[in-house]
Amino acid sequence: MSVRWTYAFLDLPASAVGRTGEFWTAVTGTRLSEPSGEHGEFVTLSADGADACVGLQRVGSGPGGAHLDFSVDDVPAFAAHASRVGAETVAEHEGWTVLRSSAGQLFCAVPWHGESARPPVVHGSRFDQVCLDLPPSGFDAEVAFWSALLPDWGSTPGSRPEFHVLAPPAGLPVRILLQRLEEDRPVSAHPDLACADIAAARARHERLGAVVTAAFDHWTVMRDPAGGTYCLTGRDPETGGLPRPSDRRG
């Protein structure tokens, strides 16, 4: 029942898919796969010599966001485990299942197809984390839920009181950061990139059409050309961790 691979999916209105795909393939040095899914709603960002771990999903309604897919050997067993620790089953498809966490974050259990090679670091950064933005009232329960769902992941407090990190076993490409917000609002999620040099990454992303919406000591909040929020964070792009003990984000 261990997770064998992870995907970070950006959930996008149809009008945003083209611009988002162009931006993120340029940022990550990848190309878009052929569409898949019953309605052609899925594409992944593919790199030569590596397995995809980031994808785009066209959604029919809502503002979009991000979610995680967990690739496993036994989807029904993983879904049953998720239900035991507090998840709700949202939909069952042929071969894969959509679930919802205790705070309302969607995620999927999908079959593992042998993925094992992480995409490389590109221009000093790597798309490697999904951050769940949580209301204060649901933060502790969500930490407990994800820690129980993923018992073989490292579950530790982050560098600041409002952060909690779930670091996957070696070789898996996507980490989870839980962030406690200051206000009560529905859970949402956004991607984070680990950057060796935030200023250099920011300049490159701005040249590709992104804009800065907020800057802090150790992370910068960006908006991609289609309006999606993401962060550039001061972490080691090889390991995903902080380069040294400090108060840096994550």
The pLDDT tens digits of the residues spanning 46-103 come to 999 999 999 999 987 666 799 999 999 999 999 999 999 999 999 999 999 999 999 9
Looking at CATH, the fold of the domain delimited by 3-111 is given as 2,3-Dihydroxybiphenyl 1,2-Dioxygenase; domain 1 (3.10.180)
**How long, in residues, is the chain?**
250
Q: What is the pLDDT of residue 63?
A: 67
Residue 246: per-residue pLDDT: 45
Reported as a single tens digit per residue, the pLDDT across 16-53 is: 899 999 999 999 999 999 999 888 889 999 999 999 99
Q: Which amino acid is at 242?
A: L
Beta strands in the chain (DSSP E): 3-13, 31-32, 42-46, 54-59, 65-72, 88-93, 96-100, 106-111, 125-134, 154-157, 163-167, 175-180, 188-195, 211-215, 219-223, 229-233
Ranges of CATH 3.10.180.10 domains, the chain: 3-111, 125-234
Pairwise CA distance, residues 135 & 184, whole Å? 4
CATH homologous superfamily for the domain 125-234:
2,3-Dihydroxybiphenyl 1,2-Dioxygenase, domain 1 (3.10.180.10)
pTM of the predicted model, to two decimals?
0.94
Report pLDDT for 242. Answer: 84
Q: What is the model's pLDDT at position 68?
A: 98
pLDDT digits over 207-234, tens only?
999 999 999 989 999 999 999 999 999 9
